[in-house]
Structure 1
Amino acid sequence: MSNSDSISRVALKKTTPDVSAAMGSLHGAAVSAARDAKVEPELLELVRIRASQINGCAFCLDMHTKDARVAGETEQRIYALNAWRETPFFSERERAALALTEAVTLVHDGRVPDAVYAAAAEVFDEAQIAALIWAATVINAYNRIAIATRMVPGGYQPAVEKK
């Protein structure tokens, strides 16, 4: 069934504004934790894109690929992100964050393996790992919201340059 054939879905912000605001606050707190832990905004966009790829969230892919470009991310790395293990384009730090993101996103496939967590702990401190787990958790929640309510991609424009 295409989006044009689908039934109308609930507008969560309108129907449950307090819950939507709480979700926004959670996102803001996660972004602040990442900033305080000195996790690069560009890395957070890679995390958001990768989780959104796994979940098939077109709305979030549209949003976060645009935000990543504004933050200076290259087209080559965005296009290759789905196959990051097979490319030389990502640093050890980025690879550890992407593996952790995938494990959190696919937690039903075997939890977060000790090897994935240990690799992250090699290149991130505890505050940074916590920030990455929160970033992955928040984008996974937003993916589910966007998919469940069939948010339409294409209209999002980054408000300001992220750098």
Structure 2
Amino acid sequence: MNTLLETLDPKRLPLHGGDATTVVVTISLDALRNEIGTATLTTQRDGWHDRISAGEARRLACNAGIIPAVLGGQSQPLDLGRTKRFYSAPQHRALALIHPYCLAENCRIPATWCEAHHNNPWHLGGRTDLADGSLLCSKHHHYIHDPTYTVEYLPHGGIRFTRRR
């Protein structure tokens, strides 16, 4: 994977949902600075994961078109409140780090194939913030807006859909 990242031109990668194929490296700020620990390398297209060293993560960040998700550091604004209706690409990437798959119970559609959904509907004052966002595949995103389905939010953060009788 490392050779692939260093060889490909990120400007020539295919688009998925309006965003180029993206690799996100997740690492704590301390581990990145101290060259200890490991980072998680994730492709947001299919949810593939791998572990790499902190030094390798820094080297890849210099040479490849990857996005570092450094926990504990400053980043792009991810909470937009009521200023924007639709979730931005950085917000979608952040939601994918939190929830790598569709939140519907037993659904394993990768987050990059999912749509961002307001838990509190936008038209009722919902905010375009990470805390108010869920990633749902197209099928379950339709279900959540379909009155023929009941929606149950599960304690672990998943969502259960049941067709009304």
Q: Which of 1 and 2 has higher RCO (CA within 8 Å, sep 6+)?
A: 1
TM over 0.5: no
Return the TM-score normalized by structure 1. Answer: 0.26
**Normalized per residue, which structure has more helix?**
1
**Normalized per residue, which structure has more strand?**
2
